Amino acid sequence: MQVVVVSFETSVLVSRLAEPFPESWQFVTDLERGLYTEYGVGNASPLRLLSPRAIWVYVRALFSGRLLSLSSRGDGQRADTAQLGADFVVGGDGRIALAWVSKTPADRPRMKRLRAALDG
C-alpha cells in the first residue's frame, strides 16, 4: 500500500507536516490546488469555519504550540485556514474506495471507515 499526502502548502511547510509520519509516506505539494479542484474540494464558509468542533480543534492546536508553528507557510504568507481537506482511498485499479470531502476544517472520517476502505 502506498500513502500519498497532498497539500496546497509550500514544500517547507509540507516537510514539517511530514515529520511525525512514516518515511514511506509520500508528501507532495499542489500549490495551484489542481487536484483539490479536480476532486471538488473547496473552501469552508465563514459559518463553517466557526463551528464548535472547528474552534475546538484550533484551540487544542494553539495550546499544543502546533498552530503557531504551522501558521507560517515558510514564504511569509499565512496558512489558508478556509481550505477544506479531504481523504480519498484509491485502489490500485484507480477506483475510489472512499471519498470524504470535509464540510468543516475539523471534519474527518473515522479511522474505522478508513481502515474498511483500505481493507475493502
Confidence of residue 86 (pLDDT cuts 50, 70, 90): very high
Taking CA 27 as the corner, what is the angle to CA 35 and CA 21, rounded to the nearest 5 degrees? 135
Positive or negative: CA dihedral 68, 75, 106, 5: negative
- Please give the residue range of the domain that contains residue 46: 4-119
In this prediction the pTM is 0.68
What pLDDT, on the 0 to 100 scale, is given for residue 78? Answer: 60
Residue 107, pLDDT above cutoff 90: no
Report the share of the chain in percent with pLDDT over 90.
33
Residue 66, pLDDT above cutoff 70: no
What pLDDT, on the 0 to 100 scale, is given for residue 74? Answer: 53
